[in-house]
Chains A and B, each alone.
Chain A
Amino acid sequence: MSDKTEDIELRLLLEAIHKRYHYDFRGYSVASLKRRLTQARERFGCDTFSQLQDRVLHDPAVLPALLAYLTVQVSELFRDPAYFRAIREQVVPHLKTYPSLKVWVAGCSAGEEVYSLAILFREEGLDERTMFYGTDINPEALKRAEAGVYDLDRLPLFTENHRKAGGKSSLSDYYTAAYGSAVFDKSLRRRTVFSDHSLASDAVFAEVQLVSCRNVLIYFDRDLQDRAVGLFKDSLVRKGFLGLGAKESLRFSAHADAFAPFAPDERVYQKQGDL
């Protein structure tokens, strides 16, 4: 590993954030983290990561702002429609055999992925028997997820995605437009719990039939990816499903053997029976 001064300072900054605030970014992919922390450093007017470390340690107001840089918040409703189509057409028939269901959306950002699944489950007649857990480490994102309010100018894309995902209803059935915002129907989150949970430091909290964790593992190095996938493995029931992001796979995972490709093009895996 490189021992450039800047990289030493970066590691110390992550160490400081962990020791002081228990957010653990030490196992994250460095390249994009460094890029985003460089932007944060500029925004806080610091010349070095050491100066930024000083600020974050002594001013508790800095951390929440820093979290916006440390965690990437890009998401969409029905992002990658083919994934949701695979869930609808291939996974849902299996899920229908369970009398009650639990779904864990790990790294749910502002809730887009949870609302997508909640709408899909309603269209497929599963919502009454399903509990959704949306988890993330970014408290701002969780607050927005709880509110279910999105900018109205994002709705054309969401509507198009929903249609491509095989939507059986009109997306407008699920929200009300007001003052430049779309407010998603409360009933969609009647059986949803949004909560703080870190794939880097927390443990399994429920037994679930489906884990959807998209575009989160790319931010982790391989050890941390293994930890996260280990949590999914321990959380899933036998024959349960794991859906990953479009460019994520279990190919290099320490837990690859515990899963079989189910809808390989859409990165859906099925947990195997106990060995």
Chain B
Amino acid sequence: MSAGAEAVVIGASAGAVDALSAVLPALPKGYPLPVMVVVHLPPDKKSVMAELFRGKCAVDVREADDKEPLTGGTVYFAPPDYHLLVEPDRRLSLSSEEQVHFSRPSVDVLFESAADAFGPGLVGVVLTGANADGARGLRAVLAAGGTGLVQTPTTAAAAAMPLAALAAHPAARALTLDQIAAHLRELGGTS
């Protein structure tokens, strides 16, 4: 058990639903850390993610609200067409500023702001996706002393996002989805 993990951020794009289905339902009820997730989705879609995973997960799952304080045992999805950020006082906030990597929400935006707020207490997880979003963000997580986990590219539905993340920082660890799930449980002291 590694001491001091305070929050988890996850980014996923193409293939996200399957990958998240291997990770989020593995978190037990009472999981102590808040988990924030960015999935790339078309902007005009009502978010189906929170609804989809609510039924599958032991932890609470919801779409993030602006200025909501973070609490453990909750998965927060970024709403479609908004960036999700973490404020220094560890509240969530939303922004409709420009797309990053053609995406709003963007993984980089969440990871960079969360790295700022949580420093070494942050765990950043980059899953499957067909773009480079998340690489800069993961670098920020590691630079702030946090932990970086990346889905092993060969096991990802789309390898580009994990590859870019691994290329961005040598200290990031490549793991399968099962290993990532186990690692997150461990970081929460609930293995």
Contact = CB atoms under 8 A, between A and B. Distances in A.
B108 to A, nearest CB: 10
Given A32-B83, A34-B116, A218 B66 contact: yes
Interface in A71-116: 72, 74
Contact of A31 (B65, B82, B88, B98): B88
A1 B88 contact: yes
A195 interface: no
A255 interface: no
A1 B90 CA distance: 10
A72 B88 contact: no
Nearest to B100: A35
Given A1-B88, A222-B67, A247-B79, A32 B93 contact: yes
Interface in A233-275: 245-249, 251-252
| Interchain residue pairs A-B with the least CB separation, the first 3 | A31-B85, A31-B113, A32-B95
A35 B112 contact: yes
A196 interface: no
Contacts of A251: 65
Interface in A1-31: 1-2, 7, 29-31
Given A72-B96, A218-B96, A31 B86 contact: yes
A2 B88 contact: yes
Contacts of B87: 29-31
Contacts of B113: 31-32, 34-35
Contacts of B66: 217-218, 247-249
B94 interface: yes
Given A30-B87, A31-B87, A247 B95 contact: no
A248 B82 CA distance: 12
A123 B55 CA distance: 44
Q: Which of A30, A245, A248 has the most CB of B within 10 A?
A: A30
Interface in B71-130: 79, 81-83, 85-89, 93-98, 109, 112-113, 116-117
A116 B98 CA distance: 21
Given A74-B98, A247-B79, A32 B65 contact: no
A161 B109 CA distance: 27
Contacts of B85: 29, 31-32, 35
Contacts of B95: 29, 31-32, 72, 218-219
B89 A218 contact: no
Given A72-B97, A251-B65, 4 more contacts: A7-B88, A29-B95, A35-B85, A218-B93
Given A31-B113, A247-B79, A74 B86 contact: no
